[in-house]
Amino acid sequence: MSDYWQDVLARLSVPGLILALLGAILCYGAPKIAPRIWKQGGDRGIMPMKVAGLALAILGALILLDVFPNL
């Protein structure tokens, strides 16, 4: 059983995993992160931060699905 999971993990792309996780954290944590970055009007930065997180998560998923070969 462990050989199977080692093969699965060996095939995963590290940049794809990092981008997908970073995008998910950015989307989920935007309401808490935005006021720390922008002291004035932190509420206005939540939506762009969520969109950027979504874009990162989609790019990471595309890399994991091997849409971009050799990454």
Q: Residue 69 domain-assigned?
A: no
60: number of Cβ within 10 Å? 21
pLDDT digits (tens, 9 = 90+) for 6-15: 887 777 888 8
Residue 7 falls inside a structural domain: no
Q: Look at residue 1 and tell me whether its pLDDT is greater than 70.
A: no
Q: Quote the domain boundaries for residue 58.
A: 13-64
Residue 19 belongs to some domain of the structure: yes
The model's pTM: 0.79
Residue 36 lies in a domain: yes
Distance of CA 25 to the CA centre of its chain: 7
Tell me the three state secondary structure of residue 66. Answer: coil
Determine the 3-state secondary structure of 34 from DSSP: helix
**What is the per-residue pLDDT across 31-56, written as a single tens digit (0 to 9) for each?**
888 888 877 766 788 899 999 999 99
- The number of distinct structural domains making up the chain is 1
Report yes or no on 18 lying in a domain: yes
Assigned domain for 8 exists: no
Q: How far is it, in rounded angstroms, from Cα 39 to Cα 45?
A: 10
Q: Is residue 2 part of a domain?
A: no
